Chains A and B, each alone.
Chain A
Amino acid sequence: MSDVPINKRRSGSNLSVPNADALDKAADVEGRSLWQDAFRRLKANRAAMISAIFLIVLAFICFVGTAFVPWSYEEIDWDILEATPPNFATGHYLGTDSLGRDLLARILQGGQVSFLVGILATSVALVIGVSVGATAGFVGGRVDQFLMRFVDVMYAVPLMFFIIILMVVFGRNFYLMFLAIGFVEWLTMSRIVRGQTLTLKNKEFIEAARASGGSTTSIILRHIVPNVFGVVIVYVTLTIPQVILLESFLSFLGLGVQPPMTSWGALIAEGAQEMEITPRTLILPAVCLSTTLFCFNFLGDGLRDALDPKDR
């Protein structure tokens, strides 16, 4: 064994050897994070990308478009006072509803409400759900028991009933509705986050963080939250359509937004009453609503595939 390539260099300093350096010639200095990888995969998913672009465009039209429509959503065209077909001369590009209000303006305004509900209520659910779930999962023990039993109890309360009571007690308030829906939707979120946290908690890098002197709060913020974020973001995109649907249902029941303000759900409710005479007033908002839901679901699926390529 005298002929062995004896390398007496210590491993710690071997990077000064030029050919070892050559190994990393291809290395670029900036790393590519898991997020960037996921985004790259998402970009390759055509259905999800089309959905995302469509949603952005639709939201943009809803929020900006109202400025370019000649009529406002609450304005009654006293010359008409009934449902009319599209008429470019009067500026009712999609016609009017039974009270003579411009349908396009109302659909756009309804879209604003639906998007706002979707995003705000989901944010409420996100904040509560992630903090409760991560705390319960990471701290464990009695805290976990208490929080999760509380969630169980909340699950047992009939949701519709809960929202209806809130609406009746506090009156129909636009923002209360966001809060009410958010309060209902955080339950599942907290369970998902807790489950993820439990698996993460036993990972060695959490133990490593504790050994490096991290406190509980800093570990939750620095390690747990960023790592559950992938799952959470998928769930968020799937919660938004649920919330929009829930709001529509409430509005359909007459518990949602207050007239003359409207939402897609309220428009559908109004349209449904006249669907035999003017199917347009039902079909147009219904198409908007279902395409939006469809796109959110597609985007959610795409995100799930992109963030967790192993499960595909």
Chain B
Amino acid sequence: MSDAFLQVRDLKVHFPIRTGGILIGRYTPLKAVDGVSFDLNPGETLGVVGESGCGKSTLGRAVLQLIGATDGAVSWLGTDLTSLNKKELIAARENLQIVFQDPLASLDPRMTAGDIIAEPLLNYRSTMSKAERRMMVEGIMERVGLLPRMINRYPHEFSGGQCQRIGIARAMILRPKLVICDEPVSALDVSIQAQVVNLLMDLQRDFGLALLFISHDLAIVRHISHRVLVLYLGRVMELADKAALYATPRHPYTQALLSAVPIPDPTQERNKDRILLTGDLPSPLNPPTGCVFRTRCGKATDLCASQTPKLERAGDGQEVACHHWKD
């Protein structure tokens, strides 16, 4: 495994949340990500799905070390990113980029599209001349479907979809090896989502990128991913090849998630059996003991409350963390 591309091992990100105390605060850890492990291979897309508050965005940022990890390791081409100092980390980030959810908020409103896209070049190719930079920016703009003559326009003059293309251009200009996509299409209109998804898949094919595609939309994740990781309250519920996960979901949570997605077909949508989960997500400050999903699970037993299930093999390329997946 020495040639591993990205290896995340038992990654934990806990945020101390002040829960009391007058002068000296009492803090409770909010376990946003709690023991997540996965591998990612070159050119592969790993989809990360889960509901809000499951820690999927935190996971993406922790992989880039934009948020420090509490414990565990993120090894990138053999070096552990969590052990690097500030300078080394900045150097390592050349190959690691991120595309954000809110296309407008992720662009500095006072900079032109060209300046925004060129920013990574200023940081990593500081010897480049102005003309060379401009050529590269225009090249990548064309590649992501923006008119190069719009180089001097400001973010607020673009539509949401175009802003997201600017964000993608900024992430791609250094030709990184891994791009984290944090809900890149969920703020976009339906007709624009498909354009952006296709663009990302195109770029992946051309540049041989690995993608960590974070989304709450299971349909889009199915379309773009090779493998899918299902998160719930910061823990991995299921990790499987796309085909296996969507055909034979093993974890009760995955099953419920899949059945909850509305299908744009009246006959199917009205006749399908929905697994309705009861209640809401428990507070991540005070997660249930044992299996975190047990409070909403139809199959929960005493065992689930006392023992945390480990990820175990449940078929070809499929791992599940449930005591009762065989039932």
Contact = CB atoms under 8 A, between A and B. Distances in A.
A pairs with B: yes
B320 interface: no
A220 to B, nearest CB: 13
Interface string A203-245: 1110111111111001000110011000000000000000000
Contacts of A203: 105
B145 A24 contact: no
- Determine chain A's interface SS by DSSP, over half rule: helix
Nearest to A28: B153
Contacts of A6: none
Interface residues of A, number: 33
A14 B157 contact: no
B202 interface: yes
A12 B199 CA distance: 5
Nearest to A208: B106
Contact of A211 (B97, B111, B194): B97
Given A212-B120, A213-B123, A33 B194 contact: no
A168 interface: no
B66 A210 contact: yes
A27 interface: yes
A31 B107 contact: no
Given A29-B150, A31-B112, A214-B123, A14 B170 contact: no
Contacts of B64: 211
Contacts of A15: 142, 145-147
A19 interface: no
A206 to B, nearest CB: 8
B153 A13 contact: no
A169 interface: no
Contact of A213 (B90, B100, B106, B199): B90
Interface residues on B, range: 35 or more
B145 A34 contact: no
B98 A211 contact: yes
Contacts of A208: 98, 100, 106-107, 167, 170
A32 B106 CA distance: 19
A33 B66 CA distance: 29
A205 B123 contact: no
A226 B66 CA distance: 23
Contacts of B194: 11
Contact of B102 (A14, A33, A204, A209): A204
A310 interface: no
B108 A223 contact: yes
Contact of A34 (B61, B96, B110, B195): B110
A211 B202 contact: no
A31 B106 CA distance: 19
B199 A212 contact: no
22 contacts: A11-B195, A14-B195, A15-B146, A27-B150, A30-B152, A31-B152, A31-B153, A32-B157, A33-B112, A34-B110, A34-B154, A203-B105, A207-B61, A208-B107, A208-B167, A211-B93, A211-B97, A211-B98, A212-B93, A213-B93, A226-B110, A226-B111
Interface of A: 10-15, 21, 24, 27, 29-35, 203-205, 207-215, 218, 222-223, 226-227
Given A11-B145, A31-B150, A203-B105, 5 more contacts: A14-B145, A27-B149, A34-B156, A207-B100, A214-B123
Q: 10 shortest A-B CB distances, which residue pairs? A: A31-B153, A11-B195, A213-B123, A204-B106, A212-B120, A11-B198, A226-B110, A204-B105, A31-B154, A205-B108
